[in-house]
Amino acid sequence: MRMNRRSILAALFLTALPAVGQQKVTSVRLYVFDCGRLKSGNPAPLLERGVTTTDMSVEAFLIVHPRGTLLWDAGVIPDELVKPEGTVEARATVHTTLKGQLAAIGYKPADITYLALSHNHYDHSANGNAFAGSTWLVQRPERAFMFPETPPATPGTQIQINQSARWSELKNSKTIILDGDYDVFGDGSVVIISTPGHTPGHQSLFVNLKTTGPVVLSGDLYHYPAERELKDFTPLANLGVPAQEDASKAKVEALLKQKHATLWIQHDIIADAKLKKSPAYYE
């Protein structure tokens, strides 16, 4: 079929257009990705304290900034294991791949400027290797824990067995090692907050959105709203250092008050159901 000059120019123009998700933004956008559901491994202590919904959501987030992109967390089951009918593994159920959700808004892993995991646990890091080409933002104690100079003689806790292979390629990624809070894009709009305790270098994320307002993504600082409402209630304290966790929670609560920010508890399945998911976004 012959094409006239006008048709050829039109085709070239359309080919040159950026993907929808990569159009230039003038303010920060926040996309929420549905990365599945996770059953509590020990619901009894939760039920005893009145927590009737013990299942947890699993989320990942893409922050799009005029100066680049940041992927926050990377799901619970690697994309290559996710089947169209859904995949169940290690108490998790996942129906949609992270790469597929990125592709739907015009991104592929190679387009992600920065990767930051709230921490190394399997339900936040399963697709870590897919983003080994991004610049990894990680607290110094967390990286040392993930890649010790002398590997442990015995396997880690049950929650971590055989999971480290899923982020092993980050060892050779371009890396910015953090020693505390870090302003990702240099303008105060996206700031990693050091919140150790759950793991040695656990971190949370402050995102200042022009219309929605400031939010803090919790990682595993909290798992359920009841942890903020009830005294002396940290259901997964056995995984971390309670004194450090308490200090980190106090730090974030002060930040929420100072910035008039909203806390998004990433594992709060009830709140998650109310969040709009990608390709919709917050700004």
For position 150, what pLDDT does the model report? 79
For position 232, what pLDDT does the model report? 74
Does the pLDDT of residue 11 top 80, yes or no? no
Report the range of poorest mean pLDDT among 11-15, 17-21, 49-53.
11-15
For position 41, what pLDDT does the model report? 84
Does the pLDDT of residue 276 top 80, yes or no? yes
Angle of CA points 202, 222, 117, to nearest 5°: 35
Tokens representing residue 165 in the block: 């292979």
* Structure-model confidence comparison of residues 283 and 2, the more confident one: 283
For position 227, what pLDDT does the model report? 87
Euclidean distance between CA atoms 83 and 22, whole angstroms:
27
Distances (CA, A) of 196 to 16, 57, 78, 152, 221: 45, 22, 26, 21, 9
Q: How many CA atoms lie within 13 A of 245 on its CB side?
A: 22
Handedness of CA 52, 54, 60, 63 (dihedral sign): positive
Provide the mean pLDDT of the chain: 89
For position 42, what pLDDT does the model report? 85
Tell me the average pLDDT across 15-41.
Answer: 79
- Pairing label, strands 114-116, 92-94: unpaired
* Tokens 């759950």 found at: 198
For position 159, what pLDDT does the model report? 43
Does the pLDDT of residue 15 top 50, yes or no? no
In the DSSP assignment, the letter for residue 268 is: B
Q: H helices of 105-214, where? A: 122-125, 140-146
